[in-house]
Amino acid sequence: MTASRVKAVELGTNVRTRRSLFGGVAGIAACASFAGPLKAFARPHRHTAHAAKAAAAAAADAPVGTPANTPIGPFDTVARWAYVVDYDTGAVLLDKASDERMAPSSLTKMMTAYIVFGMLATGRIRLEQSLPVSEKAWRTQGSKMFVPLGQSVLVSDLIQGMLIQSGNDACIVLAEGIAGSEERFVAMMNEEAPKLGMMNSHFLNVTGLPADGHYMTARDVATIASHLIRDFPQYYHYFGELEFTYNHIRQGNRNVLVDKGLADGLKTGHTDAGGFGLCASSQRNGNRVIVVINGTSSSNERAHEGERLMSWAFANFENATLFRRGQVVDSAPVWMGEHRQVPLVAGADIVMTLPVGWQQRSHIGVDYASPVIAPVAKGQVCGALVISAPNMADIRVPLEAGESVAKLGLVARAMTRLGHGPAQ
């Protein structure tokens, strides 16, 4: 595509220049997030026909529900709350009431696990350490790993009991052993949650047992899932173990997606108030997606809907690296500088999550004030990469000066203004 520039009427006049780099190359999810560091990641293009076939199959298998918002149009789901996000870019692929408070049930245990993993990582507790079982822990109702009253249990066993068997008793033993009481451990959870970006969660216990004022949102569930994967990769494997036997009682992982090999971890939950919920993550072809649903009517519906949304996400979206950190995207003219132009570079790897098949319907260009006024400091934001696609708001990514450009000396500036200096 031929680039077009808007020229200044008179030297030194600052105007906006929109320069087209290329069109029909990449699309972008409308709600893609660029907060935090972007990771370099490129995937081979998948044939559009395959994606369309998978999408059609998902639509044909769709339950009767209400639509969620997605970058490619409404998508029905029976889940009352649903949220699907790309782990690498933070792009939101599906959103249904994701900021509405809900009873998280045993999804709470993901936050409990985060505190436990933090204690392990800092050496405050050890996997081979044993913690005593109190009567409170032994009497705790709901799902159990069946810890023995008056005895001690290895921390490693308690973690498996908490995450594989969803043992409420295991959670209490861990909380009391780390903080002295469940209440003090809960205070640690509530203190840590907003630091992780969980701005709409409040915990009253470590188990997720029903309690007025105990809530999370689907977005916050996905947030803690991302942190568990990113911050504690050495412990993430516990979420993906298929079964655990303790006290001669064998129990399988309650996350059916893990059991079927469709996800590599995270958690399920159920209460009357929250319905049946699930948080699952899977990595395929180097791309990781996190799916959160809650408010389904049965364990079978939960498993079916979780599998359907996971398959839909991988069939309809892919990631592509548009520019690497430091790569020159374009050059901008400089006014009154020792160099005539300054390269505009990506300050970080620019990775986009984009709908499959939208590559030929999108456009990438740059937008900057022209000319850039000297002096220019390396790293100074001088413009933006602009990604446009039909029916979507433009996505703007800052571009930086790739090198410094000093201001001309007094004589050279004067000659330039008189038209005798180097063309700028």
20 labelled catalytic: no
pLDDT at 44: 33
15-40+324-417: what CATH class? mainly beta
Backbone angles phi and psi of 106, in degrees to 5:
-75, -5
| Chain mean pLDDT for the chain | 84
Asked if residues 115 and 189 have their Cβ atoms less than 8 Å apart, the reply is yes
In sequence order, what are the residues at sequence separation of 6 or more whose Cβ sits closer than 8 angstroms to the Cβ of residue 141? 168, 209
Ranked by mean pLDDT, the top range of 50-64, 179-193, 386-400 is 179-193
pLDDT at 358: 66
Q: Mean pLDDT over residues 397-412, rounded?
A: 82
Residue 417: which region, alpha, beta or left (left: phi > 0; alpha: psi -120 to 50)?
A: alpha
Q: Mean pLDDT over residues 195-211, rounded?
A: 97
pLDDT at 127: 97
CA dist 326 and 345 (Å) reads: 5
Q: Mean pLDDT over residues 365-379, rounded?
A: 90
pLDDT tier for residue 48 given thresholds of 50, 70 and 90: very low
pLDDT > 80? residue 321: yes
Q: Mean pLDDT over residues 125-153, rounded?
A: 96
pLDDT > 60? residue 420: no
pLDDT at 382: 93
pLDDT tier for residue 286 given thresholds of 50, 70 and 90: confident
pLDDT > 50? residue 226: yes
Choose the weakest-confidence range: 156-160, 275-279, 346-350: 346-350
pLDDT at 422: 45
Q: Mean pLDDT over residues 367-387, rounded?
A: 90
pLDDT > 60? residue 86: yes
pLDDT tier for residue 24 given thresholds of 50, 70 and 90: very low
**Residue with the two structure tokens 């149009």:** 73
Beta pairing class for 328-335 and 372-373:
parallel
Asked if residues 225 and 217 have their Cβ atoms less than 8 Å apart, the reply is no
281 labelled catalytic: no
Higher pLDDT pick, 326 / 59: 326
Q: Please identify which of the residues 105, 143, 166, 226 carries the catalytic annotation.
A: 166
Q: Please identify which of the residues 109, 201, 226, 281 carries the catalytic annotation.
A: 109
Higher pLDDT pick, 179 / 22: 179
Q: Please identify which of the residues 96, 98, 105, 106 carries the catalytic annotation.
A: 106
39 is in an annotated binding site: no
Distance of CA 416 to the CA centre of its chain: 51
In sequence order, what are the residues at sequence separation of 6 or more whose Cβ sits closer than 8 angstroms to the Cβ of residue 145? 157, 158, 160, 161, 162, 165, 167, 169, 170, 244, 246, 247, 249, 251
Q: Does domain 95-317 have CATH number 3.40.50.450?
A: no
pLDDT at 335: 86
Question: Taking the CB of residue 391, how many other CB atoms lie within 10 A of it?
Answer: 9
Instruction: Quickly list DSSP for 330-360.
Output: EEEEEESBSSSEEEEEESS-EEEEEETT-GG
CA dist 63 and 301 (Å) reads: 9
| Helix H or strand E segment including 109 | helix 108-121
pLDDT tier for residue 64 given thresholds of 50, 70 and 90: low
166 labelled catalytic: yes
pLDDT > 60? residue 28: no
Higher pLDDT pick, 110 / 386: 110
Residues of the chain with CATH 3.40.710.10: 95-317
pLDDT > 80? residue 1: no
CA dist 407 and 405 (Å) reads: 7
Residues of the chain with CATH 2.60.410.10: 15-40+324-417
